[in-house]
A and B are shown apart, each in its own frame.
Chain A
Amino acid sequence: MKTGILLTLAGAVLLAASGCKTSVNSVENVQKSGQRQMVSDQRAVTDTGLAKKVSIVGVNSAMTPGGFLKVQIELLNNTRSPQRFSYHFEWFDANGMQITTLAPVEVPDQIQGGEDKFISSLAPTADCRDFRVKFIAN
């Protein structure tokens, strides 16, 4: 009787665990025609849990034809389960002053287990020179 209950419980736990696990397979061209202009970054980690689960692989930037700075960040989920987080970009002018937009937009996002994905944002004005991105676990 006890064994039956234990087996049922184990099955339920296994089912729940497998339901949370995701993974992503991907393929891409080896010889890239586009070259990413990587940015050397400085990190401040206060949520080590999130930093361990979702790591920042690299940051690159480019200027659009209209003169706006565009920033792209490559993220990697080091776990086997999907991770939910939100992020928002802050922009600074040539004097290091933060450029105030309407309200900072916090973008909710999700990354699948083992997935490598990009997030990006465009500077609100052509005066933006620097940026900072904040990540919060949801």
Chain B
Amino acid sequence: MKNKIVLPVLAAAVSLIGAGCATNAHYVQTGGNQNVVTIGQINIQDYMQAADTMTGELLASGALNRVANPPAVLAISRIVNNTGQQIDMDLLTKKIRVALLQSGKAVTTTTMGLGGTAEDPMAQGLQQENDFKSDVKSTRTPDFTLSGKIIQLAVKAGNTSQSTFSFQLSLTDPKSGLAVWEGEKEITKQGTRSSVGF
């Protein structure tokens, strides 16, 4: 008799719990605490956190205020990927660029790039044309360049894996060749398997 009542109730409870945990496709807030966390990869929330921290440190340092004609002009230089995964650096640099632009402290040039490659070739062409036509050169050379590196350090103990991602950035004054600001943000993740949430 007992079994007749207990077993169906238990079965119903288990199926209810199961249904509660099942996840159909749905939207989550980017970078929020419902995002998937993987140990061996940089997740979107990691890029967001690294960009946010380093932008805050850069703005707080006041390095961008020390230019003759504010806002400072920034050019993006090489950011080396020393991790085991393929990275689109814009996931990091674009967030920093947007935040700096919104702060009013820096603008980024899209007509100058590493090895002469412009991010916006059309703007570069028009700028060169304007410079050729007029006597006054309109091109403003960057006050600073931004370079850096992303490093991954992976270790394992038994079933537990751990990855540390080190985001390193340097802001260099090209006139002196000196790094006027440097920032580093380390993010460490540990676990036995990937999960949803922090």
Which residues of A does B touch, CB under 8 Å?
Answer: 64-66, 68, 70, 84, 86, 101-108, 121-122, 124-126, 136, 138
The number of chain B residues with a CB under 8 A from chain A is 26
| Complex-state Cα separation, A136 to B60, whole angstroms | 27
- Whether A105 lies near B49 (C-beta < 8 A) is yes
| Complex-state Cα separation, A68 to B104, whole angstroms | 11
- Whether B198 lies near A125 (C-beta < 8 A) is no
Residues of A within 8 A of B29 (CB): 103-104, 106
- Whether A107 lies near B104 (C-beta < 8 A) is no
- Whether B31 lies near A126 (C-beta < 8 A) is no
Number of A-B pairs, beta carbon distance below 8 Å: 64
- Whether B198 lies near A84 (C-beta < 8 A) is yes
Are A122 and B60 also in contact (CB < 8 A) when A102-B95, A108-B33, A138-B33 are? Answer: yes
- Whether B198 lies near A138 (C-beta < 8 A) is yes
Interface positions of B from 44 to 101, Cβ below 8 Å from A: 45, 48-49, 52, 55-57, 59-60, 62, 64-65, 95, 98-99
Tell me the dominant secondary structure on chain B's binding face. Answer: helix
Known: A66-B105, A101-B99, A125-B104. 17 other contacts (CB 8 A): A64-B62, A65-B65, A66-B59, A66-B60, A66-B65, A86-B198, A104-B29, A104-B32, A105-B49, A106-B29, A106-B32, A106-B45, A108-B33, A121-B56, A122-B57, A124-B55, A124-B103
| B197 interface hit (Cβ, 8 Å) | yes
Residues of B within 8 A of A105 (CB): 31, 45, 48-49, 52
Residues of A within 8 A of B23 (CB): none
- Whether B99 lies near A102 (C-beta < 8 A) is yes
- Whether A65 lies near B102 (C-beta < 8 A) is no
Who on chain B is nearest to A125 by CB?
A: B103
Which residues of B does A touch, CB under 8 Å?
Answer: 29-33, 45, 48-49, 52, 55-57, 59-60, 62, 64-65, 95, 98-99, 102-105, 197-198
- Whether B62 lies near A108 (C-beta < 8 A) is no
- Whether B33 lies near A136 (C-beta < 8 A) is yes
Residues of B within 8 A of A125 (CB): 102-104
- Whether B31 lies near A122 (C-beta < 8 A) is no
* B25 CB, min distance to chain A CBs, angstroms: 20
| Complex-state Cα separation, A65 to B60, whole angstroms | 8
| Complex-state Cα separation, A105 to B113, whole angstroms | 29
Who on chain B is nearest to A138 by CB?
A: B198
Residues of B within 8 A of A124 (CB): 55, 99, 102-103
| Complex-state Cα separation, A84 to B195, whole angstroms | 15
Residues of A within 8 A of B65 (CB): 65-66
Who on chain B is nearest to A136 by CB?
A: B33
List, sorted by A's number, 28 A–B pairs whose CB atoms are closer than 8 Å: A65-B62, A66-B59, A66-B62, A68-B60, A84-B198, A86-B33, A102-B48, A102-B99, A103-B30, A104-B29, A104-B31, A105-B49, A105-B52, A106-B33, A106-B45, A106-B198, A107-B49, A108-B45, A121-B56, A122-B56, A122-B57, A124-B55, A124-B99, A124-B102, A125-B103, A125-B104, A136-B33, A138-B197
